[in-house]
Structure 1
């Protein structure tokens, strides 16, 4: 594996993470229980909220799903296992595999959260295809950001408090941007500023990926 192509190393690590997830499944079912119970409790307390409240609640659920699913990806890696991977693979291949795996996991969780929200809280969405695209894009953005934060926290002796402190000022602009863009799925009026907001969100994703790929090899050496 050490002499293999970086692409092969990356997808081998992704396959490893997916295989472990399929065998253990405790994280998947834990997040699934969180989604269903949270949406059900919201239904009991609020019934079927109006459009803006529905949208805000959905993205709050997405935030905590990311914390429970994505942010734990590095916490389950022991120091000994990380040292073992250090001797086998390129650090950029390792972090790229984590990014890909977490995007896959968050995409699945986002779809489940959307289905549960529609089932329990009603369906006020006028443009479903647009909103589904926003959910997938937003889930990707959140997973990339939390993967970077989890990698930094893992190299700081698995300090979860560090991830929380760094994550709050970074995730809030992303959530506000996602909430504002996705509101267009609840109205029939076209908003000419939407393409710029999509470009801004895509630029933030590219920046997060670039920073992760640049910084992680230095963290890996420690």
Structure 2
């Protein structure tokens, strides 16, 4: 049974990956969005200060994640969902979505960081530390929006519902990420850095558990 579960997750993940490679809407759309946004910031501000650079990065990451992950469930038709229901369980389907969106935001976080450094210079003192934080933050944001997209897909006003549910959930996470990432702009590591990082990891794990527990109830609807 466990082997079948892994096989289902891998097959569904592979399906999403092949569709993304074939269509490439997400990649080129986000590339255009990030490049145009950062270029406008460069024309208006030049090379911003460290705190502004950090805040802009996470704001861009928020919109990148929204565009990349929000369509996870919105693009699935009722007929296709019924087919997935007949061949895989709710847990396997949800885990495959979380895995795919996590991998997608892993790549998008690195891409956004490269474009930021090219256009807005590199004010980072500890670049590798910020790379790790940006990957952790991007994957965490993808988990939250995947969970929200699963709920919103069952409603009529999906985009509005995602915005209403996402605001109180995502703002504390963004504030925590911006605070943690400040360590990459100085040589001194704050004493609470590891505690905040573990808190962020714990939040991501909680979202995964909630997704796996609550999604089967939506799946049966």
TM normalised by structure 2 equals 0.97
Structure 1: runs of 5+ lacking an equivalent: none
Q: Distance in 1 between matches of 2:124 and 2:214?
A: 40
Q: Distance in 2 between matches of 1:134 and 1:168?
A: 21
Equivalent in the alignment of 1:207: 206
Q: Distance in 2 between matches of 1:10 and 1:175?
A: 29
Equivalent in the alignment of 2:160: 161
Matched, 1:75 2:78: no
Equivalent in the alignment of 2:143: 144
Q: 1:194 to 1:4 in 2, by over 3 A?
A: closer
Equivalent in the alignment of 1:58: 57
Q: Distance in 2 between matches of 1:157 and 1:87?
A: 24
Equivalent in the alignment of 1:30: 29
Does the Cα contact within 8 Å between 1:75 and 1:158 map onto a contact in 2?
A: no
> Which stretch shows the higher mean deviation, 4-13 or 144-153?
4-13
Using the TM superposition, give the Cα deviation of residue 158 of structure 1 relative to its aligned residue in structure 2, in angstroms.
6.0
Matching of residues 169-208 of structure 1 within 5 Å:
169-208=168-207
Q: Distance in 2 between matches of 1:157 and 1:27?
A: 23
Q: Distance in 1 between matches of 2:123 and 2:176?
A: 20
TM normalised by structure 1 equals 0.97
CA RMSD between the two structures: 1.3
Equivalent in the alignment of 1:220: 219
Equivalent in the alignment of 2:115: 116
CA shift digits 1:166-202 (9 cap, x unpaired): 0000000000000000001001112111111011001
Q: 1:196 to 1:3 in 2, by over 3 A?
A: closer
Q: Distance in 2 between matches of 1:43 and 1:93?
A: 43
> Which stretch shows the higher mean deviation, 178-187 or 148-157?
148-157
Q: Distance in 2 between matches of 1:3 and 1:187?
A: 46
Equivalent in the alignment of 1:92: 91
